Amino acid sequence: MGIVAVDGEISAKSLTLEEAIANLRSEDASLRYYAAWWVGRFRVSQPDVIEALIEALDYEGDRTEAGGLPLQRNAARALGKLADRSAVPALIRSLTSPDYYVREAAAQSLGQLADDRAVPGLLALLAGGVAAAVVAPGQPHLVQPYDAVLEALGNLQAQGAIDVIRPFTEHSVPKVQYAAVRALYQLTGDDQWGERLVAALRGPDLQLRRALMGDVGAIGYLAGAEAIAQTEAENSLKLIALKGLAEHPNATPDGQTLTDEGRRILVLMDGLL
Amino acid sequence: MSIAPSPELSSDLSPDLSQLIRAVDEADSVAKMVGAVRSLAAAQDPAAIPTLMAVLGYNNPGAAVAAVEGLVALGETAVEPILAQVDGYNYTARAWALRALAQIADPRALELLLAAAETDFAPSVRRAAAQGLGALRWARMAAEQVPMARDRVLAVLTVNATDLEWVVRYAAIAGLEGLAQSQPTLGNRVLGLLRDRATADTDLVVRLRAQWAIEQLAAKG
């Protein structure tokens, strides 16, 4: 089949590659929904799959009772994993979807695809700044997926966004606040932002600590390695965060050998086994 | 937080220790639990072992770290009680117990470490066991048992070095490095395995760990 399971075995009930591709265009919405998840999960990046997923982003049927667009959400998430930039224009259009979760998935995927054509569309979602970043009436989320947008702008190295992002470091919702902090570290390389993530690793909120560990790893803030090793959380998550740190170009500039700082990370990892 | 009373709370405990154990049993927040376990661990009293073992199952990583440190500080005294109480039904608790045994490094834990590294379904348990197998204090084993034991360790770590989970492969490499340090006769076979991982592994961090192990073994000659 030529497919490698990325984080586990393919279950016995899983589709064959041929079935998954056929189901992407099935009449049955639930089959399309599952197939869209499946091709992302197993990283099936090939032109006919990308094309079918892009088509799915424009599919208007199959709404949830609340007006959500589940197929579009899955298609947008999958496209982020498949590393094909031909999906970028369609994902940019999805940033204006009426469905919050489609906008969120599109922002995340655009951050993963690292194509700077997405910057204006992402910035548009920050319009009105912190004052406009309030809870959507009757919803369990804010009016826009601010954390996903901020994270994407950081990943995209959107230097022009720094002044727009900075006020969000004072947003009342921690995950928005720290998404802004993370982005500013990526955009400026200024240790004050890395240190702010590290300080929060000593905070009382376990869920937040779990998320921030991954952030420190993903942005390659090597000085945060000890804080990850010491924070009160599961060793499994610490090891994943430190893996991200050890594999970051900051620790292994040539992608093959470690700097001394990189070796320090391996020592910490050994201590967590 | 509702917690079952510590097992085997007997009347011959010293009043101080009874109080420390009661503080663990009665802790009603994550933070209080961590503090109580730290205090109990600091007492370094073998009578605290059942309570420290019970803490490993409370799904409180801070408290579990403190309990593991307490068990490790007790050293060889703790080996038999830990072996007797390893939780077969809670893999998180089992992983912490394996970590304690791995750090104490007493060869009496060999069979459990081998079985855990080889057959446990939980990567967190397999990784702790793999690391521990490489760190055993062989001098504490009867000399005539060492050759067969070290070959079994090498065989299990060789399999784990190609496990499906990156963290198990990583731990196997750390274990192999430790094994080659303490059992130089295995050096060439270990180096061969490490060179394979340093080039063939799919995860960069595993390749980096293997490469570093090779460097460290070379530095030792």
Q: What is the pLDDT of residues A9-44, one digit of tens each?
A: 445 356 788 888 899 988 888 899 999 999 999 898
Measure the CA–CA gap between B84 and A91, rounded to whole angstroms: 57
Average pLDDT, chain A: 91
Class of residue A194 by CB neighbours under 10 A (exposed 0-12, middle 13-18, buried 19+): buried
Q: Which tops the pLDDT comparison, A29 or A153?
A: A153
pLDDT of residue A236: 93
Among residues B178, B171, B37, B38, which one has the least CA distance to residue B117? B171
Position A2 pLDDT exceeds 50: no
Position A6 pLDDT exceeds 80: no
Q: Which tops the pLDDT comparison, A162 or A30?
A: A162
Measure the CA–CA gap between B118 and B129, rounded to whole angstroms: 9
Which residues are CB-contacts of A13 (< 8 A; sequence separation ≥ 6)? none
| Nearest-CB residue to B61 (from A234, A243, A273) | A234
Return the SS3 of A9: coil
Burial B38-73 (b: 16+ CB within 10 A, else e): bbbbebebebbbbbbbbbbbbebbbbbbbbbbbbbb
pLDDT tens figures, A100-126: 999 999 999 999 999 999 999 999 999
Measure the CA–CA gap between B166 and B192, rounded to whole angstroms: 19
Structure tokens at A95: 């940033």
pLDDT of residue B11: 54
B36 alpha-carbon distance from chain centroid: 23
The residue of B37, B208, B211, B212 whose CB has the most chain A CBs within 10 angstroms, and thus the best one to mutate to test that interface, is B208
pTM score of the predicted model: 0.83
- B123 near B154, Cβ under 8 Å? no
Measure the CA–CA gap between B115 and B132, rounded to whole angstroms: 12
The residue of A206, A235, A273 whose CB has the most chain B CBs within 10 angstroms, and thus the best one to mutate to test that interface, is A273
Per cent of chain A over pLDDT 70 is 95
Which residues of chain A make contact with B124, given a CB cutoff of 8 A?
A: 235-236
Per cent of chain A over pLDDT 90 is 77
Residue whose tokens read 């959380």: A233
pLDDT tens figures, B99-154: 999 999 999 999 999 999 999 999 999 999 999 999 999 999 999 999 999 999 99
Position A7 pLDDT exceeds 60: no
Which residues are CB-contacts of B47 (< 8 A; sequence separation ≥ 6)? B13, B14, B17
Q: Which tops the pLDDT comparison, A194 or A63?
A: A194
Structure tokens at A199: 């300080």
Measure the CA–CA gap between A23 and B209, rounded to whole angstroms: 42
Structure tokens at B138: 């062989």
pLDDT of residue A68: 78
Asked if B169 reaches chain A (Cβ–Cβ under 8 Å), the answer is no
Structure tokens at B35: 């503090």
Structure tokens at A228: 């990850």
Asked if B1 reaches chain A (Cβ–Cβ under 8 Å), the answer is no
Burial A164-176 (b: 16+ CB within 10 A, else e): bbbebbebeebbb
Beta carbons of B123 and A236 less than 8 Å apart:
yes
Q: Following CA atoms A49, A50, A53, A57 in sequence, which dihedral angle do they give, to the nearest 10 degrees?
A: -170
**Spans of chain B below 50 pLDDT:** 1-5
pLDDT of residue A149: 98
Nearest CA to CA, how far is B13 from chain A (Å)? 31
Measure the CA–CA gap between B87 and B22, rounded to whole angstroms: 22
Measure the CA–CA gap between B124 and B142, rounded to whole angstroms: 30
Orientation angle between helical segments B123-135 and B166-182, nearest 10 degrees:
10
Which residues of chain B make contact with A236, given a CB cutoff of 8 A?
A: 123-124, 167
Position A171 pLDDT exceeds 70: yes
Q: Residue A147 — pLDDT band, cuts 50, 70, 90?
A: very high
| Nearest-CB residue to A236 (from B62, B124, B212) | B124
ipTM score here?
A: 0.84
pLDDT of residue A61: 72
- Can you spell out the DSSP letters for B145-159? GHHHHHHHHHHHHHH
pLDDT of residue B97: 94
Structure tokens at A91: 């994902």
Residue of B nearest to A266 (CA): B209
CA–CA–CA angle A176, A56, A70 (5° rounding): 50
pLDDT tens figures, A232-273: 888 999 999 999 999 999 999 998 898 999 999 999 999 999
